[in-house]
Amino acid sequence: PTGGNWLSASLSGGTLTVSVNPAGLSASSTAYTGNVKLSATGVNDVLVPVNLTVSPQSALSVTKSHAGDFSAGQLGAIYTIKVGNGASAGPINGLVTVTENPPNGMAVVSMSSTGNVWTCTAGSCTTNNSISGGASYPPITVTVNVASTATSPLTNYASVSGGGSSTSPTSGDSTNITPLTCT
């Protein structure tokens, strides 16, 4: 074979196996090209062209936010998680998982989203929907209960993984907790 280290071929028991290994090749809309040369005694050589396009990897991102301060003992406090793909990244394909990681003093009650994109449980959401570079999934609403003994501030984390992304980013949101007061 010709075409650099990314292309190889082997013949075993009458079966020709052509292998490509894109490791080390840069993402490009222009295909890498090469040939596999088939030779046998008494026949003309045959060149089989091989083209390989290396697409950019997906680049998941996650942000987490809330409005205002939470109170110690508060039930039903809300965070919002947004998951997107980098502007110049390749499409996100495959299972994407968002995991909620609350601190001591906070408990996740539920996670939900509008539409039919995310499938959520009390601690995570998953999707198999693909999005292109620069696009985002619908936001996820996280409902938490704050312990009456919670200290301030508390940082709640969310992480995202999968979808062909080479990274698994995490986002933390520091939240002021006002103390529980009785009159």
pLDDT in tens, 137-167: 999 999 999 999 999 999 999 999 998 887 7
Residue 115 predicted with pLDDT over 90: no
pLDDT in tens, 25-69: 666 667 778 887 777 788 888 887 877 776 666 789 999 999 999
Sign of CA dihedral 162, 142, 113, 120: positive
- Bigger pLDDT: 25 or 118? 118
* Residue 52: predicted pLDDT: 74
Please check whether residue 27 is in contact with residue 52, taking contact to mean a CB–CB distance below 8 angstroms.
no
- The answer to whether the pTM exceeds 0.85 is no
Task: Supply the DSSP string of 75-123, one letter for each residue.
Answer: SSEEEEEEEEE-TTPPPB-S-EEEEEEPPTTEEEEEEE-STTS-EE-SS
- Helical spans, DSSP H, in the chain: none
